[in-house]
Structure 1
Amino acid sequence: MRTIFTTDQVHERDRFARWHDIARQGIVDHDAKPACRKSFQAELQVGAIGTNSLAFFRSSDMTVSRTRRHIASDATDEIFVCRQFSGRLVLEQDGYQVGLEPGDVTLLDPAVPYAAHFFGGSELLVFKVRRNALEGRVGRTRALTARALPANADGRLTSAYLGLLPFHANGLSAAVGVT
C-alpha cells in the first residue's frame, strides 16, 4: 500500500478540507463533516490486487454521507467490502444499520445512498470489487449490505484474509485478484 495523503504536515485549518478532497477522489465522492476541524487527523493509503483497488484509511471522528446527487454524478460498478481494523464505525444503508468493531466485515454499495459515523481512531479497509465478479460468487448483494458478516468460521476466515491485504496488496500477482 502506498500513502497518498496524511494530515501530519498540513496546517490544522486546512487538514479536513485537503483530506476530504483526496478521499472523494481515492475512495468515492461523498459529503463529510468532522467532529472537530481543528484536531482532525487522517491518513489514506491505496493499493491494488489485479483489477481491484484497496483503500485503507485512519481518521478522527466524522460523519459521511453519499447521496443520490453523488451517485448521479459519480456512478460506480463496484461493491465495497469493508473491514474494520480499529475504532468503531456505524453504517446505515437501505434501512439497515451495522456497527463495526475491529475485525468486523460488511458490504457497502456505493450505488445506493448511505451514511456513516466514524468514531475517533477508526481504521477501515475498503476493498473495491467489481459488482459482477462478486455477485457471480455470492448472488445479489443488496440483501447483504450494511449487515455484519456472521462470526462463524467462514466469517472469521474472510476477516483474517482481508486483514492481510494491506500488507501484501501491491506484491500479489494478478492471479490472486478477483476477476
Structure 2
Amino acid sequence: MAILLSTESVRQTEGFAYWREAVCDAYVHLDCQCERPDDFRGEILLNRLSRLSASFVSGSQQSVRRRRRDIARAGEDSFLISLQMQKEGGVLQDGRQARLKPGDFALYSSVDRYNLELPDRFRQLVVQIPRDMLLSRLPDADLMTGISVSGSSVMGRIIHDSAVRLVSAIDQSPAQVQHSLQDTVVDLFVTGLASLRETRFELSRPEQQILLRADAEIRANLGDPDFDRHALAAAMGLSLRRLSELYRSDGRAISSEIRTLRLDRIAADLKDSRYARHSIADIAYRWGIPSQQSLARMFKERFGRSPRDYRANG
C-alpha cells in the first residue's frame, strides 16, 4: 500500500529536517541540501512492492548527493531510475551528466557516488530496482548510468506514459497481477536503456516486445478514424484473438487503449493555445474521432466534463 511522506505533516520550521529523514528512509542513505530550507516543501508517494519500489516525488529546489560514507554506512545494492515529469532535473554519475527534460529518464546506481539536481516545483517518478534484477536483463547497466534517455521519441513517449500509468495502477491490481506488472515496468525501462547502445538484453516475457511494438503502432495511427483493433492485429500480423490475449495479460484492452490515447491527445490540444482557433470538431477529427456525439459521451466519461467546458476551464 502506498504511503505519503509530506512536509505538510510537520511544522514549517521542521519541514526540511523531516524531508532529509524521509528521503533516506524511502531510498538509500543520502545528503540533501537546499537554498531555502525555511520555505521548503516536499512530498513522496511511496509504494514498496514485492520486487521494486516506486514513488512520485515533488517539491522545492534541492541538491542530493550519495557520498562514499553513505555507501559505506549502508550497502543498498540497487539501481534507481528518475523519470522527469515536471521541470528539468539532472543526474551525475561516473563523470556522465544527464539533463532531464519532462519525459526523459536516467539510470544511476547506489553502489557508486551520484548527484541529483532538482529545481523548484519539480516532479519525478523514481523507481528503485534490485541490482541483480536489472543486471539479469541488462548486463552492462553500469555503463549506462548518468545518460539521458529521451522522452521525445515515439518509444520514449510510450515508456513515459506506460510507466506512469502502470505504477499508478499496481497498487489497485489483484495480488496475482502485481508481480507481472512490476516485471513490465522494468522491461519498459530496459527497452529504453538498451536503445542507448548496441547491447544484449532480455525481457522477462517475449510478449512484451510485441506489446511495445503494438503500442507504437497505435500511436502512429491515432489520426486514422478507421484504425481499430482489427487494423492493429492486421498490422502486427497476429490474429485479433491472440493480440487481445496479450493485452489482457497486461491488464489492458485494445479498443480502450486506442480510445484513451485519442481522448488524451484531444484534451491536450484543447488546452494548447496553438489550437485556440481550431474548432472542437476539427481537433477531434485530427485524432480519429469524427463523430461529435461519440466524442461528447466518451470525453465526459473520461474527464467528467464536456469538451467545451474542459477547454473553457483549461
* Cα drift, residue 166 of structure 1: 3.8
The equivalent residue for 2:304 is: none
Deviation at 1:141, TM superposition (A): 0.9
Match of 2:169 in 1: 168
For structure 2, the 5+ residue unaligned runs are 184-203, 205-314
Determine which structure has more spread, i.e. the larger CA radius of gyration. Answer: 2
Counting helix residues as a fraction of each chain, which structure ranks higher?
Answer: 2
Q: Deviations over 1:62-120 (max 9, x none)?
A: 11100111011111221112211112211111001111111111111111101111100
Question: Residues 166, 177 of structure 1: CA spacing in aligned structure 2 closer, same or farther, 3 A cutoff?
Answer: closer
Q: Secondary structure at the match of 2:111?
A: coil
User: What is the correspondence of 1:81-100 to structure 2 with a 5 Å cutoff?
Assistant: 81-100=81-100
Deviation, 1:49, is 4.4
Cα distance in 1 for partners of 2:49, 2:61 equals 29
Match of residue 157 from structure 1: 158
Contact residue 12 and residue 37 of structure 1 kept, 8 A? no
TM-score by length of 1: 0.91
Unpaired runs of 5+ in structure 1? none
Letter in 2 for 1:155: G
Q: Equivalent pairs: percent with the same residue?
A: 22
What is the number of residues matched between the two proteins? Answer: 179
Higher RCO, Cα 8 Å, sep 6+? 1
Note if contact 1:53-1:128 (Cα within 8 Å) is conserved in structure 2.
Answer: yes
What is the distance in 1 between the residues matched to 2:64 and 2:181? 32
Matches within 5 A, 1:54-65: 54-65=54-65
Tell me what 2:22 maps to.
22
How many Å separate the matches in 2 of 1:108 and 1:175? 24
Mapped to 2, the partners of 1:138 and 1:176 lie a distance apart of: 18
What SS class does the counterpart of residue 29 from structure 1 fall into? coil
TM-score (norm 2): 0.54
CA distance in 2, matches of 1:161, 1:155: 10
